[in-house]
Structure 1
Amino acid sequence: MKLSEIRKDYTLKTLDIKDVKSNPIQQFKVWFEEAVDSEVLEVNAMCLSTIGKDGFPAGRIVLLKGVDHGFVFFTNYSSDKGQEIEENPKVSLTFFWAELERQVRVTGTLEKISSEESDEYYFSRPLGSQIGAWSSPQSQKIPNREFLEKTIQELEVKFSKEPITRPTNWGGYRLDPIRFEFWQGRPSRLHDRIAYEKKPDGSWEIFRLAP
């Protein structure tokens, strides 16, 4: 089949401005719970888009680990994305839940969370993942897979003799959102798109976008 012939008509649900929550984080939680209940694959996977030092956008999938007044995820601060965030903390997140024919886009600014919050999550992870955070010089060139495996073996010996700690270059970020877009697939590509934009007083303007 030619790519130009691949088509899908979206017919599952609708989205109307009169039905959404006044706060977009609450609306996100409603949709997220529905995605969990629908057993969406990798429901907390999101595309984090940053701007690279070369000026080009860079996207990759990371996992959402908390939603409060913002969106929390964890990574290596020394990685490419960590360095890009340090240079320009303005980013976007994109969630796509194909099973519900839904997409959510969130734009905002990232800040590192507290050491205490990062510690709490780090020590809740399996030991293998804790060691993995130490073993990987994320985004750097390495000679082969054996390099990682050897490093892990050495760290397993090290931390069998002493308590493991969280690497100082590994931790969490929280995105402070300023814009949301909730997208619901509809027939004939006439999709429903409801957007929220944060106003100077902290309230949200809600409006519909053309598909």
Structure 2
Amino acid sequence: MSKRIQAKYKIDRRMGENIWGRAKSPVNSREYGPGQHGQRRKGKLSDFGIQLRAKQKLKGYYGSISEKQFRRYYDEAVRRRGDTGEHLIGILECRLDAIVYRAKFVPTVFAARQFVNHGHVLVNGKRCNIPSRLLKAGDVVEIREKSRNIPMVLEAAQSPERDVPEYVSVDGHKATYVRIPALDEVPYPVIMEPNLVVEFYSR
């Protein structure tokens, strides 16, 4: 299992963007980077630097995905016909923890991973504790009955920070993964550039 060692909001500050769109993000009040040298003037990024940043931003958005796993998703996207960047987004968005987050069962992508790990979720009526499980269109994700009154679940359902996208259908504590989304359907709070991620890996 991949673990995030560093504070998650350091990603926000390093990127200079509020990548999860959260009101608590320190970027809202401190737009400079973290650490002793964070306020130094930044030099112009090279093409490689721009591509690397796009990759770090996309990978960081989905929480604790390891580089090895992320590269595996890219390789799978390359094997599919059509736009590799679009396929990469589609693969990331059909992860079980991503759907749990999109359905507003939990407030953050990090909470989604933990929520699945702890066995609070059913997929097609069967308990599943694998956050990286890739869902197929029509799969039904449900919060176990014993877990529905967890404070985190109640908080997420009432949060006005984000809406449920059209490719996830939610009915109470049950969500159906309707279809693979296109890039412009995914409600990222910031601009994601999967084409630059493709350029990074295809160097």
Question: What is the TM-score with the length of structure 2 in the denominator?
Answer: 0.22
Which is strand-richer, 1 or 2? 1
Greater gyration radius: 1
Which is helix-richer, 1 or 2? 2
Question: What is the TM-score with the length of structure 1 in the denominator?
Answer: 0.22
